[in-house]
Amino acid sequence: MKIVKLGCTGLVLVGVLLGPASAQKAEEVRGLLAQLRDRSPSNRQQAARELAKLGPKNRAAVAVLLPALRDNDEQVRQVATGALVRIGKTAVPALTDALASEERLMRRQATLALAHIGTAARPATPALVKAMKDPDREVRAFAALALVKIDPENKETLPLLVKGLEVGDKDIRLSILYALEQMGPSAEGVLPTFVKALRDSDREVRITAASILARFGTDARTATPDLLKSLEDRDTSARVSAASALASIDPERGKDAIPVLIKALEHEDAEVRRAAAFVLGQFGRTAAPALPALDRLSKDRSADVRQAAATAAQKIKERK
């Protein structure tokens, strides 16, 4: 590696690698990390490019990179995380130990790195299961994602995540649902898990389950009967979310959602009115009975609601 001294500033610029990539000395990596804080954008970019060249042969760099996961500078954290991901399997033991750190940033970046390493991070599974109960929401979310990435066939991960849905912490259940979304609707056992979540005691979990089913689209058609039942949910926002899912999954059978959405247009919460109008637009001409109610919203006190209602009415008329 060539080191170029900048006489005008007295800074040390760690330059480009010469020849094929080889195991870099720890002090060189340390110098590159320091260079990420340089005032010169070009120097910071060059340091990032050099660190991007680290790979499986650079196991000696792990001990230097690991403390950078808790750095106050976001760029330093992200570059260090990316370097550890590229080093891969040999970094897994250190990243696993980092999950027990008292520092939130360290745990957060370690779980993120393990998620990106994927199947090679399998030895970290027990620690990641424990991290599902971390006090930090992002750590829990990344831990769930890591478990999915480590076990792409879902043979071990799905039972662990489904069991996690039984815990009392709402945020843990939400993290698990987002992780399950990564598996996709075709993965065995995923859709039934979301259907069950539609009956969760927490409204946010129910809303999230319906929203993810909506993103699955027609692949989630088997959830239609349960979404129809969710149109009777005690929470208006949950009913609107179920209606939105039906519009994406099975609009023909989702006709029962139209009266629910028309009623939601009268809700005191402007966001609920806006969302209901938006979903009615998704149904197209099927939602023609909603046109008078949408027209009344032209005088709504919320500009967002007025805009959503006008857009929905236009979509319904265009598809008639």
pLDDT digits (tens), the chain, 320 positions: 443 333 333 333 233 332 333 444 678 888 888 888 888 888 888 888 888 888 898 888 898 899 999 988 898 899 999 999 999 999 999 999 999 999 999 999 999 999 999 999 999 999 998 898 888 988 988 998 898 888 877 677 778 788 878 776 788 888 889 888 988 898 888 999 999 999 999 999 999 999 999 999 999 999 999 999 999 999 999 999 999 999 999 988 888 999 999 999 999 999 999 999 999 999 999 999 999 999 999 999 999 999 999 999 999 998 65
The span from the CA of 135 to the CA of 167, in Å, is 14
pTM: 0.70
Please enumerate in sequence order all residues whose Cβ is within 8 A of that of 288, keeping only pairs 6 or more positions apart, or say none.
316, 320
Task: Give the Cα separation of 251 and 282 in Å (integer).
Answer: 9
Pick 252-320's CATH classification: 3.40.50.300, 1.25.10.10, 3.40.50.150, 3.30.830.10.
1.25.10.10
Three-class HEC string of the chain: CCEEECCCCCCEEECCCCCCCCCCCHHHHHHHHHHCCCCCHHHHHHHHHHHCCCCCCCHHHHHHHHHHHHCCCHHHHHHHHHHHHHHHHHHHHHHHHHCCCCCHHHHHHHHHHHHHHHHHHHHHHHHHHHHCCCCCHHHHHHHHHHHHHHCCCCCCHHHHHHHHCCCCCHHHHHHHHHHHHHHCCCCCCHHHHHHHHCCCCCHHHHHHHHHHHHHHHHHHHHHHHHHHHHCCCCCHHHHHHHHHHHHHHCCCHHHHHHHHHHHHCCCCCHHHHHHHHHHHHHHHHHHHHHHHHHHHHHHCCCHHHHHHHHHHHHHHHHCC
Q: Which residue has the tokens 């065995």?
A: 188
Residue in 132, 115, 224, 219 with CA at minimum distance from that of residue 177: 132
